[in-house]
Structure 1
Amino acid sequence: MKITALFLFVALFQLHANNAYSQKSKISMNMEDATIASIFDEIEKNTDYNILYKNSVLDFDKRITVNVDKVKIDTLMDLILKDTKVSFEVRRKLIVLVEINEKPVFEPSPRLLSNSPRPSQQTITVTGLVTDQGNVPLGGVSVVVKGTTKGVSTNFDGEYEIQASEGDILVFSYIGFAKHEVEVTQKTAINVTMKPDLMDLNEVVVTATGIRRKVEMGNSIANLNVSDDVKQRPISNVSDLLQGQAAGVQISSSGGSTGFGSRIRIRGSNSASLSNEPVIYVDGVLINNEANSISFETGGQSPSRLNDINPEDIESIEIIKGPSAATLYGSIAANGVIRITTKKGKQGEPRWSAFLESGIVEDVTTYPKNYQALDAQGNPGFNFEAAEGTFVPSTVNSFQPLNDSRTSPFRTGQSYGAGLSVSGGSEVLTYFLSGSLTDGKGVLPVNNIQRMNFRGNFGAQVTDRLKVNFTTGYTNSDLELPLNDNFALALMSQGLNGTSSIDINNGWGEFTPDELFTIDTRQRINRFTSGLEVLWQPSQKLNIRVAGGLDLTSRWDSQFFPTGEAPDFLNYDEGARFSNRFNDFVYTLDAVGSYKTDITENINSRTSLGFQFLQNLSEGTFATGLQLVAGSNSIAGAAVTQSNEETIETRTVGVFLEEQIGFKDKLFVTGAVRADRGSSFGASFNSVFYPKVSASWLISEEDFFNKETKYGLSSLRLRGAWGASGVQPGTNDALRFFNPIAATLDGQSVTGVSIGSVGNADLSPEQSTELEFGFDAKLLSDKIGLEMTYFNKRTEDALIFRQLPLSLGVGEGRFENLGSVKNSGIEIGLNTRIVETDKFFFGLDIVGSFIDNELIELGEGIQPVIFEQQRHVEGYPLGGYWDETYTFNDANGDGFIGQNEVQIGEISYLGTPFATTDISFTPILSFFENQFVLKGLLNFRGGQKLYNNTGAWRNGNSNNRELNDPNASLSDQARAVASKFLGTNAGYIEDASFWRLREISLTYNAPGSFSDKLGFDRISLTLSGQNLGVWTDYTGLDPEISSEGQANFTTEEFLSQPPVRSWKARLNLTF
């Protein structure tokens, strides 16, 4: 079925748009009283031409009027340069301005002034290919002979041809990449690999008001160009794309099961009660980012809707980190905004890309054995009894069925993937079409995923001033889930609660894997995301954008316990079926207009006014059947049935105004405000306002800044911002409502209502304000790029649950705006090009963050919030670990710790659940002229604690090493005694700092001659590995996993399946 679908998909792609690209294309333009500079910008924006000039050649601030319809580029340039002393030359896609007195734009080199050229100066034809570090061809790269007007630009396939002399210097330049120079020798073929600019301030970012240059922004925004990452890194989902790529963004894996999600935190946790996950936009459409997307018990880990998105389709990701940057996104954005831009078509011939990948997945964890100590007569006993003199250990038996090949249910998992895409178009219509198939098998037999992704993105240039973009994506997936973590029917619990001998139930606890694997737990997804964007430019100064979109997720969660086969748990062996269906709708409507004008010769203004409407609608139906007919999974035939339904809806309306003033294209000052109203606000609360101010100063462009002597600085930008945004209450948090009930009164069935919630008419959104400032710098001839940001974020009116007095006649409490939370820290980004030659490159990128979290206030009369070993306590981090401390002393020196040798202290703060230090190192090494590329990702996280509840729980079962092995350390014995008998688990709240080698990949880029022989433009092969090693003092299964999946604060490790190791091979083809 899948192979048939793939062939059908390929066949449909053959009906692509016909190539209408031509160098002789005609241009229309209507610009009144516009500067020559702005006209040139418009030409470069709407055509494939690049204009090469020197500022002294022409008065670019001169204003003229241009009104032409479908003329050749020569005619347009003649009109623009009329009445000037400048002419031009068109060389393919490069327009070179030349003074009429034939003085070249650039000063001639001494070689050109020589009257007697040497034989080595004989003109030769140089050809070549220009690619990026991923070996992807770059079209439109400017190639100029240094010191002359000779220049060309690369075609769509990255190819160029230029006349030069031996000894000339070819200069290659392209937006977003560092300038590259190569000396011409007798070699007629020169291939060039362009390296990304360490800090391209002209790079554009997508904001709520439209596309802006990075240099204009006063905030730190991470812009990740990830289109090639899926080809060169072991990427399985979007969370993998984000891992270790941006300072202040922490991705935490919830475990090792295929298809489960990750927790994402941007600059810490802001709320004690609401979600701390960021919001996600795809091509301007807000999407469902439900982190715990499952409706029944699987043990803790759960899928995430973020990972429905196909990484193959993503062009770039922008991470808007805090309230100061997210002000214009309003009451949903205080936790940060992630904007995903998918790939679009470009004018030119169809370009096809295909990939095939295959991999394996391995469980590499050594699980702790189950122990039993015996005396000489074969009677069981424990170390604490030995300390009391009532037991003398003689032998210790141990076994772990999860480790032993005779009993272990783990298998070598497999992953397969295939995909095909095509892009291209004409001047009128561009397109990008893609499809992919994924088949993944986890390390457990009941953990599998099959997924299909399709995407179609189209752009239509309706008129010179009107453009329409249409994006659409579809996902179909079938995920089979294992029961895991904190669940009696989970495999981990049965293995770690097992026996010390294979002779007893094969070493398992109450249930065996065969019984557990009869349970069928699935989630099926059909998801459709679509957006329509209209861009209209009624005049040169005014731009209007109207966009709308829908994200529809149809989800079916099902769980089946077959009659007579399932484990005898809660009578599920009699048969049980749970079937829950959901339709989640997310609607987005945006409208924004921007007016840009020059106030004076050196000052310009951009004013933006916008409107946004958001709606989230979720409809769910729930059906349960117990005591099923043998051999049937039908709820209709169950002896006991239950059903329910729910509808949840929120609506938010916002308007915003932004004003930006620019001074000489060096200093930019921005002020903005947004006002929101929402259906989840209290009835007595009207609107909320979010202000913002920011500034960006490119100080290195000032006359007083000497780039040659200022500490090797070639570029320096100072920036700062202050702003606010929010997180709105839950759908029903502010509402007073009643629940319908059925009851029996005087033997008669009656209906009634009970109080569902007392509500709070004054409830308002949580409001976070943030101050940040920092700098971006390039040093040492642009070999080092450095970014540094300090931020201080404070959340006021945080929602805290207050229990109401019983005297009010209600047993429930309500949420109130009482709390205050602070996050502060420093973010650092370092990009280096340590060694750079034509044949060899070595660079190292480092991103790091140091974050401090503190609960400032819970509210008057509110006691600390306690959830097991974690608490919300004023003056400490949210979710901090607390427990009674203890001391111990082996008084008699017998090597055993008894109850009377452990002393309990006071309840104390033990540490924060989240890392305070997070640093990632990404080295890249390319050699043999970029034929081989080696990359890695090494991550350190420190400062956090993790509750090893697996270890503490095994004390209750008395089958761990601490209680049974006489060789166990005194500290291990003491923590076990304190946990089992004295009620404190402080010894199992451990330092969870770690180093993890997350990724290594090696890519081979086949030579062009080899690719050509096989009929391809490009062939590359990547071998990669993920989760290749971890170094830590943590004694549990893994220092990063969480038994509660993507829960807000619970970070305990409790019978969780640890991360697995994966290996992949991937073949990439372009043709």
Structure 2
Amino acid sequence: MHRRNLLINLCRLSTVWTFLLMSFISYGQSITVTGNVSSTYDNSPIPGVNVIIKDSNIGVATDFDGNYQIDANMGDILVFSYVGFETREVSVTSSTLNVFLEESLEALEDVVVIGYGSVKLEDATGSLTSVSEKDFNQGFIVTPENLLNGRVAGLTISTGGEPGSGSQIRIRGGSSLNDGSNTPLIVIDGLPIDNNTIGGARSILSTINPNDIESFTVLKDASSTAIYGSRAANGVIIINTKRGTNNFQAGLDFQLGVNTIINTVDVFSADEFRAIIAERDAQNGTSYSSLLGDADTDWQEEIYRSSIYSNQNAFVQGALFNVLPTRLSVGHTNQPGLRLTSEFERSSASLSLNPTLFDDHLKISINANMAFEKNRFANGEEANALTFDPTQPVYDPDSPFGGFFQYYNLNNDGVLDSEDLMGEVPRNPVANLLQRKAVANIRRVYGNAKAEYKLHFFPDLSAIINLGFDQSEASGYDDIATNSTTTQPNNALGSFTQYENYDRNRLFDSYLAYNKDFGTSSYIDVTAGYSYQKFERKQFNSADRYNPDSEATLNVQTPLVLIGLFGRANLSLADKYLLTLSYRRDGTSRFSKDNRWGDYPAAALAWKFNEDIFPRSNTISNLKLRLGWGITGQQDIGNGALDLYLARYSLGALGSQYFGGQGNTAIPVAIPQFKNENLQWEETTTYNIGLDFGLFNEKINGAVEVFYKESDKILFSAATADGSNYTNNGYQNIGSFTSEGIEFTLNTVVFRSEEEEGFNWDFNYNAAYIKREIKDLTLDQDFLVGEIDGGTGGQIQTHIEGQAPFGFYVYKQIYDENNRPIEGAYADLNGDNQINDDDKYVYKNGSPDVIMGFRSNMSYKKFDLSFNLRAQFGNYVYNNVNSTRAQLELLVPNAVPGNVPKSVLDTNFNSRTTVMFSDYFIENGSFLKMDNITLGYNFGNIFSGRDQSSVRLSFGVQNVFTITNYSGLDPEVFGGIDNTIYPRPRAYLVGANIRF
């Protein structure tokens, strides 16, 4: 046996040496090389590719079918180049060489994905912006939307500090008064997703791995969004994921970083607190000092932590079985939050298959994604951390609350009762975090299968079918310890509840696309089709295991069905005059039959006039004027309002019963719900004028946009007249408001070196001015909105005709001769010699007037440096932290002392009830932020035999600085109300990107 194995190994070795010897002998011999050149994207042949022997004048071009033939020597290098594709060099090792070329990033930028199709950027008539992978924001990006934060004029993305946190996304300020309905439609590979997050998930995008994103297209005006009709009033963000290719490549990406707290609210230290309590005892004859301890505890530092996060991604792409373009990727993100016990973890896998069949007449695209999200939620304890006594320790071994310090009284019988917690005193914030475990596990499967068939007998016509699927399942529980102050003494066993949620989104699109090139720089592109989408949701909440009075609930919501008929025509004449017409008719199951359908037309014109006006200019390389008009719709008023036109009833609680009938049995009470058969579509009409420009052969390019939007029949939950309905509040069509503004975008190549590793610098700058005004409200009624802390039912914002939405509704503060606010002194604005609600006025609002973004990229030799800046001006913030906590009376609010912000020394305000609605607390929230700065070093190709391989190391800082006059922690708050927000961390990170 050993001899036989030895003989086999010798034969193998002989074969290898024979092959090497023949290769050496043949090296340098002249042969005829033949082959085919194809695209890695769709496997289609590329005609006209230049095939040149490197360092020579010998070359040929591929024919119409992508074939070539050239005489070369073994070992020669063939250079394959073609406009729009990456140049590739291949060594001659045999007489047959088939080569795949990858589309260049610059070429991909020239074609942008729009609704149900694509268009060359130079031929676009609507207002849209495309951001590709090479221009994405760098740093620790957890959710996809932050890849383009600050990159698009008119787009604002504000992300909270929680790990995996969702974002408030607005395009041109939104188009509705209902805050949740201002979110743009998000489309992933042709699948519109639900803007309502499944319970237990961080956000609608938290399960999507940013590393799988290839590009974004942001559609802003109606002429570009109307093809999506019913959900496009707030703009559309199209996400395109990475596709399978024939060109083999593999990669690994690693990131490791540390999250740190930047700052906290300035409250009295332990020594300062002892001094001020002693001073108040002396003034008032009280003895609160006797309750103070000997500790020195910064409770804000105690509830926060520095944490290490990590992000790993791997991918491999190439031709499976040598014929099937494929991409497979996996990723894992682990992000502990700043707040104790807060955690986010995501595992994801993505598969993309892109085969072409029947001589490229049938193109198939399959995208399948699976994600697992794990969350542990930490309830907000900032309020308790601000107010808890800093002289007390975190832990107390004698405490009946699990060893955590807590103010309490114990009766002589040793049993806690409702009096022992000493009223509404602050609870130990560390105990509240550590003694509660609220976790959720989410599984999401989403993707699409798209088939495009170009008819053999009529190749100008293609039939497309797109099937989309998005399903999320969530399960979780909330467990509060038996010795927690949040449940004792009323529920000494603690609390334990569970829930299960289920969401499903199914899509069917079918449409025809006719594309005819007339050969005179003119073409027509027509698309028409049908869309069906169905959303289903189910929610289950268990009873509290330790509370016999609680009940389990099962809510199977009425499915939402959306049906659309759509069409679009693009016409180009002489590559100069462009026309786009689109129409969509949408139906929704949310409204009654009489109001179910909405019609959404749009039209746009464009004229490329640089050659007409500047035919010989070496400066102006592009000028295009665009005019657009269109109507878009809105019907998203939340999952709780799916069938308001029907008669609906809900059963009362167990105690809501009456006795009667046979046997005098208990009969549950059915309660009628709000009903509105007249509810109809909210509609937004948009006018847009744009000028695209390019200078110095596109080294400087950009656009200027002017837009005007008018939203009519606004959907809003408003009060109903007494006796007119079954409740006093419900969704209605209440009025109209307008948005107008101007946008500016500038892309500049500041310096481009002619040397391969010379200095290069380019930047992007964008800015937008937006003004919104409420024009009309039904019955001239005003609406109070914007819940605040510090009082029951307190609302600080309003919707009033003639004003911007969400304006702050406050009293005008009066100041003394030293410019200090006088407590409770307000201007009598209506002159009736009394101060009441009639003296409130609208003062500023939380939305910015101007938003800006700036991104800079520099490289020199193997180094690269990039940073991102964002700015907002004209946005104001209601400082609810100070308005409800910076009052002297709160030093001894109940039975025990409590801490307050040191800003109380600036006002000496005593009572919160007299100052909460003062405009003193409305502060200018304008800011300049550096979101990220990253320094990288690319070692280049370190793997022999792999031309595309590279290794890049990077070092960066996230949330670098914020320049602002706002006195709170962070001026960037949702809705303009700052009430103990989850702080955004500063992160220090290192990363490695390896390509094989």
TM-score for both structures, normalised by structure 1: 0.75
Q: Structure 2 vs 1, CA of residues 251 and 92 (structure 1 numbering), >3 Å: closer, same or farther?
A: farther
Q: CA RMSD in A?
A: 4.0
Question: Letter of the aligned partner of 1:973 in structure 2?
Answer: T
Q: Report the residue type matching 1:380 in the other structure.
A: R
From 694, 705, 726, give the equivalent of 1:789: 705
Give the structure 1 partner of residue 267 of structure 2.
369
- 1:948–1:377 CA distance, 2 compared to 1 (3 A): closer
**Residues 902, 209 of structure 1: CA spacing in aligned structure 2 closer, same or farther, 3 A cutoff?**
closer
Give 1:47's aligned residue.
Answer: 45
Where does residue 988 of structure 2 map in the other structure? Answer: 1063
Rounded to whole Å, the distance in 2 between the matches of 1:830 and 1:528 is 39
Shift of 1:787: 1.3
Cα pair 2:303 2:429 within 8 Å, conserved: no
Structure 2 letter corresponding to 1:693 = A
What is the 5 A alignment of 1:517-556?
Answer: 517-538=434-455, 539-556=458-475
Structure 1's unaligned 5+ residue stretches are 1-21, 28-40, 54-71, 79-87, 94-124, 130-138, 144-151, 162-172, 178-195, 296-301, 485-489, 629-637, 1043-1049
Partner of 2:614: 705
Matched, 1:803 2:719: yes
Please state how far the C-alpha of 1:769 moved relative to its aligned partner. 1.2
Judging changes above 3 Å, is the alpha-carbon distance between structure 1 residues 524 and 77 closer, same or farther for their aligned structure 2 residues?
A: closer
Which residue number corresponds to residue 414 of structure 1?
308
1:239 to 145, 151, 165: 145
> Aligned to 1:436, which of 331, 340, 344?
331
**1:496-524 residue CA offsets vs partner (Å, 9 max, x unmatched):** 11225346989994224034311011221
Residue of structure 2 aligned with 1:955, choices 886, 903, 913: 886
Query: Could you tell me how far apart the structure 1 residues matched to 2:293 and 2:584 are?
Result: 67
Aligned to 1:284: 190
Does residue 1028 of structure 1 match 2:933? no
Other structure's SS at 1:513 match: helix
* SS of residue paired to 2:602: strand
Aligned partner (choices 375, 391, 394) of residue 479 of structure 1? 375
Instruction: Find 1:360's aligned residue among 251, 254, 258.
Output: 258
| Residues 91 and 410 of structure 1, relative CA distance in 2, 3 Å threshold | farther
Among residues 133, 146, 164, which one is paired with 1:259 in the alignment? Answer: 164
Looking at structure 1, the residues matched to 708 and 489 of structure 2 have their Cα atoms a distance apart, in angstroms, of 50
1:323 aligns with 222
C-alpha deviations, 1:246-266, integer Å up to 9, x for none? Answer: 111100123x22122111011
1:643 pairs, out of 546, 549, 553, with: 553
Cα 1:1051–1:774 shift into 2, 3 Å? same
Q: Does 1:1052 align with 2:965?
A: no
1:277-332 Cα shifts (integer Å, max 9, x gaps): 112111111223325x547xxxxxx8212121101111111111233321010111
Hey, what's the Cα distance between the residues in 2 that align with 1:847 and 1:92?
52
Partner residue, 2:35 = 24
Give the 5 Å matches for 1:458-857: 458-464=353-359, 465-484=361-380, 490=381, 492-502=382-392, 509-538=426-455, 539-565=458-484, 567-568=486-487, 571=490, 573-597=492-516, 601=520, 603-627=522-546, 640-702=550-612, 704-708=613-617, 712-730=619-637, 731-741=642-652, 743-746=656-659, 748-757=665-674, 759-808=675-724, 810-837=726-753, 838=755, 839-857=758-776
Q: Which residue of 1 aligns with 2:870?
A: 939
Q: Quick one: distance in 2 between partners of 1:992 and 1:877?
A: 17
| Distance 1:698-1:1052 versus aligned 2 partners, 3 A rule | same
Offset of residue 955 of structure 1: 3.2
Q: For 1:324, what is the secondary structure of its paired residue?
A: helix
Q: Deviations over 1:699-723 (max 9, x none)?
A: 2244x532426xx211112112111
Cα contact 1:947–1:1051 (8 A) shared by 2: yes
In the alignment, which residue of structure 1 is the partner of 2:907?
973
How far the C-alpha of 1:683 sits from its partner, in A, is 2.8
- Percent identity for Structure 1 against Structure 2: 20
Alignment match of 1:378 (pick from 278, 284, 294): 278
Secondary structure of the structure 2 residue equivalent to 1:595: strand
Unaligned runs of 5+ in 2: 1-32, 52-59, 93-100, 397-404, 407-425, 787-794, 830-838
TM-score, normalising length: structure 2:
0.80
Per-residue CA deviation, residues 840-864 of structure 1 (Å, 9 max, x unaligned), is 0122211111111111112124333
Describe the SS at the equivalent of 1:1039. coil
Aligned partners of 2:523 and 2:572 also within 8 Å? yes
2: CA distance, partners of 1:588 / 1:325: 21
Determine helix, strand or coil for the equivalent of 1:857: strand
1:615 alignment partner AA: K
State the alpha-carbon separation in 2 of the partners of residues 990 and 966 from structure 1.
19
My pick for the range that moved more, 950-959 or 540-549, is 950-959
- The 8 Å contact of residues 582 and 603 in structure 2, kept in 1 or not, is answered as yes
Aligned length: 875
* 8 Å contact from structure 2 (residues 784, 796) kept in 1: no
Task: Give the structure 1 partner of residue 927 of structure 2.
Answer: 994
Post-superposition Cα deviations, 1:1007-1056, rounded to whole Å, max 9, x if no partner, equal 33x444999821111111110111111111211134xxxxxxx4311122
1:828–1:519 CA distance, 2 compared to 1 (3 A): same
Partner of 1:881: 808
Q: For the residues of structure 2 that align with 1:207 and 1:1015, how far apart are their CA atoms? A: 34
Asked if residue 341 in structure 1 is aligned to residue 240 in structure 2, the reply is yes
**Quick one: distance in 1 between partners of 2:886 and 2:741?**
39
Q: Determine the structure 2 residue equivalent to 1:916.
A: 849
Contact between 1:777 and 1:787, CA under 8 Å: does it hold in 2?
yes
Q: For residues 111 and 820 of structure 2, what CA distance do their matches in structure 1 show?
A: 66
Mean alpha-carbon deviation: is it higher for 983-992 or for 259-268?
983-992
Q: Provide the C-alpha distance between the structure 2 equivalents of 1:786 and 1:401, rounded to a whole number of angstroms.
A: 54
Name the counterpart of 1:6. none
CA distance in 1, matches of 2:90, 2:888: 69
Which deviates further from its counterpart, 646-655 or 559-568?
559-568
Contact 1:840 1:926 in 2 (8 A): yes
Q: Which one-letter code corresponds to 1:857 in the other structure?
A: D
Counterpart contact for 1:685–1:764, Cα < 8 Å:
yes
Q: Is the 8 A contact 2:592 2:645 kept in 1?
A: yes
Contact map agreement 2:299 2:385 (CA 8 A) in 1: no
Instruction: From the superposition, tell whether residues 479 and 660 of structure 1 become closer, same or farther in structure 2 (CA, over 3 Å).
Output: same
SS in 1 for 2:313: strand
Q: Shift in Å at residue 26 of structure 1?
A: 9.1
Q: How far apart are the structure 2 equivalents of 1:525 and 1:77? A: 48
The whole-number CA distance in structure 2 between the counterparts of 1:408 and 1:1014 is: 51
- 1:800/1:819 contact within 8 Å kept: no
Say if 2:185 and 2:237, in contact at 8 Å, map to a contact too: yes
**What displacement does 1:344 show?**
1.0
Does the aligned pair in 2 maintain the 1:722–1:770 contact within 8 Å? yes
Quote how far apart the aligned CAs of 1:450 are: 2.1
Q: 1:542 to 1:381 in 2, by over 3 A?
A: farther
